[in-house]
Amino acid sequence: MGKYWIAFVANKSLSGGLFLLYVIVTSIGIYLSQKSIVSFLLLLASLLILYFLQFPDKVKWAAALVILGVVLPFAASHGQSYQSYMDVAVMVGIYVAMALGLNIVVGMAGLLDLGFIAFFALGAYTYGIFTTSQASHFMPFGHYPLSGASFWMFILIGCLFGALFGVLLGIPVLRVKGDYLAMVTLGFGEIVRIVFNNLDKPINITNGAMGISSIAPPELFGIRFIYPSQFYYVVLVLLLIVIYMVRRLERSKMGRAWKAVRENEIAAQAMGIPLVKTKLAAFAIGASFSGAMGVVFAAKQAFVDPTSFTYLESTTILVMVLLGGMGSVPGVILGASIITILNLQVLTEVTNWLNQLSMSGVLKIPDALSPAKMQRFIFGLLLIVFALYRSKGLLPAKNMHYDLEKLARRTHSMDAVPAAGETNKG
Amino acid sequence: MLTDLIGTLPQVLIDGLTLGAIYAVVAIGYTMVYGILELINFAHGEIFMTGAFIGTSLLFLFTGQGWIHTLPAILILLLAIIAASICTGVLGIGIERVAYRPLRNAPKLITLITAIGISFLLQDIVRFIAELKKGTYIINGPNLFNGQIHIKASSLWPEFHDATLKSSFLVVLLVSIVMLAVLDIFVNRTKWGMAMRAVAQDRETASLMSVNVNKVIAITFFIGSALGGATGVLFAVQYGTIDPYIGYTLGIKAFTAAVLGGIGNIRGSMAGGLILGLIEMFAAANLSGLTGGVFGSEYKDVFAFILLIIVLIFKPEGLFGKAAAEKV
Amino acid sequence: MKSKKLWSFGLAAVLAVSLLGACSQYSSKSNASGGSMQVIKIATQSPLSGGSATLGEAIKLGAQLALEEQQAKFKKMGFKLQLVPYDDQGDPKKGVSNAQLIGSDDQVFGVIGHLNSGVSIPASEVYEKYAIPMISPASTATEVTDRNLKTVNRVCARDDFQGPAGASYAVKTLKAKKIFVIQDKTAYGQGLADAFKAAAEKLGAKIVGYESITVGEKDFNGVLNSVSSAKPDLVYFGGLYAEGGLIVKQARAKGIDVPIMGGDGLDSSTYVDIAGGAVKNTYLTSVAGDVSKTSEGKKFAENYKNKFRKNVESYSAYAYDAMGVMLKGLENAIKANGGKIPTREQVRDAVRAIKDYKGVVTEVDFDSKGDNKYAKVFIYKFNKAAYPAEQEGEISK
């Protein structure tokens, strides 16, 4: 089996041709049979196949962009399920970005953060408060609600707010050891949720349990983004920016410092890595992704309330990171996509199918076992199985390969130590 | 307002002790496992919850059999407690064997994640079974101890109001004290207890001293989980209603209690549990009065978490623990 | 090598599951093509898991009963009626994504749901986009209909009617002068408790305490200690049965014997199960009438019990009426369209235009916002530990 695969991948024209055929077939599948999510999933899986093929990086990225930006929306647009697919795709994008943020904290720096959803909540509430009349309850200046055109600015604000709170959380917490860190971050996540749930007196900041509704949709040059299909592009662009940033960070000095801290704190300190600054940077950057995505989430849902930001959500994102592979960017993207699609589409569809079966009398599955309710069970099982047997995840993080000859040539051709001039394979 | 505070003090004290006793025994489970394995057993809250469910089903069984009329209630309760603790003890050993032993040499992160996975799994499995049997997962146990006892605290000092307590509170308190005493004797006076303390101190050297480390760890898990399960039954008796999600919040608060008292220190956890219970009850009863209505009793959970964070940051060894220097 | 094997296995597993999921679409298509009948689906969205599962399940079953009773009538018109239940888990995100799925299924013409106002509000934005009429049997927050959406209707009363109705009964009939209010910090509980508080203050009562509890807690002794030191004449609880039952039980154990009043979130058999004997001398306001008072109601309760082997809950009757209204609107739309399948907009407008529909527990007539003009509030009292309670009075608009 392995031999054939290697041979297949090596033959570029063969693999390229087959891949193209696969994409065309699956997109026609979506186009023609709207409701079949099989074609949808298969088309998304084509991205996964693309990852394994042996083409130069630039070609792969271009192909991925074409598939995501053009093929998918076009194929799905022919029919009723368009918005439903786009909705799922938007949620996948949001969760992928958040999982990448948590990946930096947990996967790269090795700090187990169980309250990650708190930053998401902060971003979402920030946007929600200021784009509805909620802010007029406590802000002494300004004219609220702000219009949707401020959405773009708010993404940056969400980013900065997230980073700020990440640092604020990090400073007291960094003296604490691994297991305790988990509990402290868990406590923090719960505190944020409870506080938001109760912050309607003495001054009404978050409207408590009632949540904030009718949040303004984003506006660009007069177009209002109400439909998930429009949000899709926003999320796609943001996701590309996030992936780019994460890959740059991974290869930078900071990324290597994180890996060192993760493996052995004391040795890293001995090597001169400033422990506190490195950890704070990890927290801040991870939190900033989460905050920015919170803004997008609030704009998409047009309604925020504290029940979206529970401990279960934090654990969901953790499962995504673990499933995909801690520290590995493509792995986390895969893990996040799988979990989100599982949660939002697959489980519901399987439940509906079982319901139809039981209503037509074929099979009687008791209500208690309906798959849509089995979310926790599946997560628990996934966590245990993966932690025990594949703790490296589905697509494990790969270390970077340096071509020694090229490096040697560089050092000899220049007298000074070269800047970040490395190549990598894989 | 101050008069209110003082007036309700006896009642707050009693309620706080009830809550605290439950926290204390569950905290011991956390402490014991952490002392030996340096692992926070996230699943312990769910073991507590499983114990509550097993106990309630046993009580239903006994009631169904009609034994409840022939035997005194306390005997039935004891039977249920013993049966439930044995079941949860075995469950604890099973969890350790399946999920923690293979990862003994893996980084701590992974074991924590497995523990979270088990807690989710247990929650959902119990929910299935409850929903299958009863159609809802909120289960009401039979009422065992319903008598009311009035304490005329006002005779002690006129400022105090009278306090009432359910007789189940006395049962809970007594059983908890007995369990704690037995545990104390076991850990400090028996050979196995000494083995446990040895493994907690230094695992490798203990194994050199011909202590069977695996067996000791299994026994620790058994005892910790059995105690957790027994407390679950007490909880079910005290509050009457249980659902699969009681383990989560209680687990976090019990962990706070364990940390407060000094993790690894059994007597410290007991003290920590009682203190936490009292603080929480006091906050719930008086917070809105103290802050003039700004912060109400809904913030009492936040209290526990903030306390946890403060203790971990400023005195990680807890109130009664010894600071351990990290040796490189 | 090993990773590739595991990989292909994993991929195959994912494919298998998604194929299963896809089968649902294929089987529904085959249902549609079975015979010359067109399929009309009505969806229900309610929490079938989570803390309010008893109520959510009751909504689904009540709607199911109504639908199945009318299936024969629609068959004669040439349409096959089907029920599609969804579980929104009381979570707004799930409710919205389910709403998207519902919207993209062009055979669905209506939704009965949700239970929680916090889920109804965002989900209804989606229904509005797809022009699918929604009738809620249980969402009481004022915000649900205050947005003036064309698709949102409800058969139950609003918080700002139920709360003041309870307040007026408490102050005028029960002569309560000092009231202690507890709420559970959800959109429903807080909305109801706030409405009650405002109305009670207007009627001259003094609110001696306003505390909140968390859903899922079991120990309310702290709050109850504040209650006993405040010595009120009445305790009002805005929240659901799981906490309400425990509060009542623990309050009586503390010696708090004053009447305890709550809203329709308490109106369920599980409330009596949890509170046991302590439930005596408690009141609740409910927007559902007593099914045992009318002969249709009794027949409904019997059919429900025979079919599902469970007793009716308050929301079963409400969902039954909601589905009845929906089907009446559908029928009107079909007839207005000359017997052919109508568009979603036609069904939506027909549902909103319903006048004087007589259901088993309530009459229905939607006003321009989608509220029910006939919504009445009934006051129930528990004189013994049995469900349902006895009706003490009713207050209409």
Of residues A177 and C316, the one with the higher pLDDT is C316
Fold of C35-157+295-366: Rossmann fold (3.40.50)
B327: confidence class by pLDDT, cuts 50, 70, 90 = low
The pLDDT value recorded for residue A102 is 93
Eight-class DSSP state of B324: P
CA nearest neighbour of C169 among C336, C289, C286? C286
Of residues A393 and C263, the one with the higher pLDDT is C263
Smallest CA–CA distance, residue C394 to chain A, in Å, is 28
C20: confidence class by pLDDT, cuts 50, 70, 90 = very low
Q: In chain A, which residues have their Cβ closer than 8 Å to the Cβ of B122?
A: 380
Tokens encoding C300: 């409904």
Q: What stretch of H or E contains C282?
A: strand C282-286
B299 part of contact set with chain A, CB < 8 Å = yes
DSSP string, C370-397: S-BTT--EEEEEESSS-SS-EEEEEE--
- Which of A110, A173, A191 lies nearest to residue B302, judging by beta carbons? A191
Separation CA A312–CA A183 (nearest Å): 15
A84/C101 Cβ within 8 A: yes
A227/C25 Cβ within 8 A: no
C83 part of contact set with chain A, CB < 8 Å = yes
- Angle formed by the axes of helices A37-52 and C2-33, nearest 10°: 160
Pairing status of strand C134-136 against strand C152-154: parallel
CA nearest neighbour of A242 among A341, A420, A102? A102
B313 part of contact set with chain A, CB < 8 Å = yes
Q: Where are the domains of chain A?
A: 1-80, 88-319, 401-426
Q: In chain C, which residues have their Cβ closer than 8 Å to the Cβ of A350?
A: 17, 20-21, 24
What is the average pLDDT across C315-339?
A: 88
C24/A350 Cβ within 8 A: yes
Separation CA C212–CA C197 (nearest Å): 13
Q: Which domains does chain B have, with CATH numbers?
A: 2-314 (1.10.3470)
- Which of B140, B239, B283 lies nearest to residue C219, judging by beta carbons? B239
Tell the residue number behind the tokens 């065309």, with chain if given: A24
State in Å, rounded, how far the first CA of chain B is from the last one: 54
Separation CA B258–CA C285 (nearest Å): 44
Q: Is A215 left (phi over 0), alpha (psi -120 to 50) or beta?
A: beta
C136 part of contact set with chain B, CB < 8 Å = no
Of residues A214 and B309, the one with the higher pLDDT is B309
B298/A198 Cβ within 8 A: yes
For the ranges A291-305, A398-412, B129-143, the maximum mean pLDDT occurs at: A291-305
C11/A345 Cβ within 8 A: no
Separation CA A420–CA A400 (nearest Å): 13
Over the stretch B30-83, which tens digit does the pLDDT of each residue have? 888 888 888 888 899 999 999 999 998 888 888 777 766 677 777 888 888 899
A339 part of contact set with chain C, CB < 8 Å = no
- Which of C20, C27, C185 lies nearest to residue A198, judging by beta carbons? C185
C210/B293 Cβ within 8 A: yes
Separation CA C46–CA C89 (nearest Å): 7
C340 part of contact set with chain B, CB < 8 Å = no
B90: confidence class by pLDDT, cuts 50, 70, 90 = very high
Q: In chain C, which residues have their Cβ closer than 8 Å to the Cβ of B8?
A: 225-226, 228-229
C21: confidence class by pLDDT, cuts 50, 70, 90 = very low
C211 part of contact set with chain A, CB < 8 Å = no
A186 part of contact set with chain B, CB < 8 Å = yes
Separation CA C103–CA A83 (nearest Å): 9
Tokens encoding C244: 């309400």
Of residues A381 and A287, the one with the higher pLDDT is A287
A204: confidence class by pLDDT, cuts 50, 70, 90 = confident
Smallest CA–CA distance, residue A164 to chain B, in Å, is 19
Kindly tell me if the per-residue pLDDT of A9 is higher than 70.
Answer: no
Mean pLDDT is lowest, of A287-291, B295-299, B322-326, C247-251, for B322-326
Over the stretch C215-258, which tens digit does the pLDDT of each residue have? 878 888 888 888 888 889 999 999 888 889 899 988 888 888 89
- Measured between CA atoms, the residue of chain A closest to residue B296 is A198
C6: confidence class by pLDDT, cuts 50, 70, 90 = very low
B138 part of contact set with chain C, CB < 8 Å = yes
Of residues B7 and C45, the one with the higher pLDDT is C45
The pLDDT value recorded for residue A103 is 92
Pairing status of strand C38-46 against strand C282-286: unpaired
B15 part of contact set with chain C, CB < 8 Å = yes
H-assigned helices in C280-384: 295-308, 314-336, 344-352
SS3 per residue for chain A: CHHHHHHHHHCHHHHHHHHHHHHHHHHHHHHHCCCCHHHHHHHHHHHHHHHHCCCCHHHHHHHHHHHHHHHHHHHHCCCCCHHHHHHHHHHHHHHHHHHHHHHHHHHHCCCCCCCCHHHHHHHHHHHHHHCCHHHHHCCCCCCCCCCHHHHHHHHHHHHHHHHHHHHHHHHHHCCCCHHHHHHHHHHHHHHHHHHHHHCCCCCCCCCHHHCEECCCCCEECCEECCCHHHHHHHHHHHHHHHHHHHHHHHCCHHHHHHHHHHHCHHHHHHCCCCHHHHHHHHHHHHHHHHHHHHHHHHHHHCEECHHHCCHHHHHHHHHHHHHHCCCCHHHHHHHHHHHHHHHHHHHHHHHHHHHHHHHCCCCCCCHHHCHHHCHHHHHHHHHHHHHHHCCCCCCCCCCCCCCHHHHHHHHHHCCCCCCCCCCCCC
Mean pLDDT is lowest, of B51-60, C93-102, C321-330, for C93-102
B103 part of contact set with chain A, CB < 8 Å = yes
C21/A346 Cβ within 8 A: yes
What is the average pLDDT across C164-168?
A: 90
Kindly tell me if the per-residue pLDDT of B23 is higher than 80.
Answer: yes
Of residues A215 and C34, the one with the higher pLDDT is A215
What is the average pLDDT across C313-335?
A: 88
Which of B22, B127, B140, B294 to substitute to test the interface with C, most C CBs within 10 Å? Answer: B140
Over the stretch C139-156, which tens digit does the pLDDT of each residue have? 888 888 888 888 898 888
Q: In chain A, which residues have their Cβ closer than 8 Å to the Cβ of C143?
A: 210, 213
The pLDDT value recorded for residue A366 is 66
Task: Report the length, in residues, of chain C.
Answer: 397
Mean of pLDDT over chain B: 82
Kindly tell me if the per-residue pLDDT of C31 is higher than 70.
Answer: no
A368/B109 Cβ within 8 A: no
Of residues C291 and C224, the one with the higher pLDDT is C224
User: Which residues contact residue C144 at a Cβ distance below 8 angstroms, ignoring those fewer than 6 apart?
Assistant: C117, C120, C121, C124, C136, C152, C154
CA nearest neighbour of C288 among C385, C200, C394? C394
Separation CA A366–CA A349 (nearest Å): 17
B84 part of contact set with chain C, CB < 8 Å = no
Those of residues 99-118 in A touching chain B at CB distance below 8 A are 106, 110, 112
Separation CA A17–CA A24 (nearest Å): 11
What is the average pLDDT across C8-12?
A: 48
Pairing status of strand B241-242 against strand A303-304: unpaired
Over the stretch B98-156, which tens digit does the pLDDT of each residue have? 888 888 877 777 888 888 889 989 988 888 888 777 767 777 777 666 666 666 655 66
The pLDDT value recorded for residue C30 is 39
C11 part of contact set with chain A, CB < 8 Å = yes
A151 part of contact set with chain C, CB < 8 Å = no
Kindly tell me if the per-residue pLDDT of C204 is higher than 70.
Answer: yes
Which of A226, A308, A313, A349 to substitute to test the interface with C, most C CBs within 10 Å? Answer: A349
Residue A364, judged by CB atoms within 10 A of its CB (0-12, 13-18, 19+), counts as exposed
C52: confidence class by pLDDT, cuts 50, 70, 90 = confident
- Measured between CA atoms, the residue of chain C closest to residue B3 is C229
Kindly tell me if the per-residue pLDDT of A186 is higher than 90.
Answer: no
B279 part of contact set with chain C, CB < 8 Å = no
Mean pLDDT is lowest, of A137-141, A182-186, C207-211, for A137-141
A195/B302 Cβ within 8 A: yes
A211/C118 Cβ within 8 A: yes
What is the average pLDDT across A36-44?
A: 77
Smallest CA–CA distance, residue A222 to chain B, in Å, is 43
The pLDDT value recorded for residue C179 is 93
User: Which residues contact residue B138 at a Cβ distance below 8 angstroms, ignoring those fewer than 6 apart?
Assistant: B241, B242, B243, C51, C54, C242, C270, C274
C1: confidence class by pLDDT, cuts 50, 70, 90 = very low
What is the average pLDDT across A290-300?
A: 90
State in Å, rounded, how far the first CA of chain A is from the last one: 22
List chains touching C (3+ CB pairs under 8 A): A, B
Which of C60, C218, C224 to substitute to test the interface with B, most B CBs within 10 Å? Answer: C218
The pLDDT value recorded for residue B202 is 85
- Measured between CA atoms, the residue of chain C closest to residue A359 is C83
Which of B46, B105, B121, B128 to substitute to test the interface with A, most A CBs within 10 Å? Answer: B121
Kindly tell me if the per-residue pLDDT of C394 is higher than 50.
Answer: yes
Q: In chain B, which residues have their Cβ closer than 8 Å to the Cβ of C212?
A: 296-298
Residue C357 CB coordination number (10 Å): 18
Strand partners for B90? none
Smallest CA–CA distance, residue C263 to chain B, in Å, is 20
Q: Is C273 left (phi over 0), alpha (psi -120 to 50) or beta?
A: alpha
A172 part of contact set with chain B, CB < 8 Å = yes
For chain B, the maximum distance between any two Cα atoms, rounded to a whole number of angstroms, is 63
Fold of C159-286+378-395: Rossmann fold (3.40.50)
Separation CA B152–CA B159 (nearest Å): 12
A227 part of contact set with chain C, CB < 8 Å = yes
Q: Are C287 and C136 in contact (CB under 8 A)?
A: no
What is the average pLDDT across A134-143?
A: 73
Rounded to the nearest 5°, which phi and psi values hold at C48?
-95, -5
A352: confidence class by pLDDT, cuts 50, 70, 90 = confident
Over the stretch A338-350, which tens digit does the pLDDT of each residue have? 888 888 777 777 7
Q: What stretch of H or E contains C144?
A: helix C143-146
A137 part of contact set with chain C, CB < 8 Å = no
C49/A372 Cβ within 8 A: yes
- Measured between CA atoms, the residue of chain A closest to residue C92 is A308
Kindly tell me if the per-residue pLDDT of C69 is higher than 70.
Answer: yes
A2/C185 Cβ within 8 A: no
| CATH 3.40.50.2300 domain position(s) in chain C | 35-157+295-366, 159-286+378-395
B11/C228 Cβ within 8 A: yes
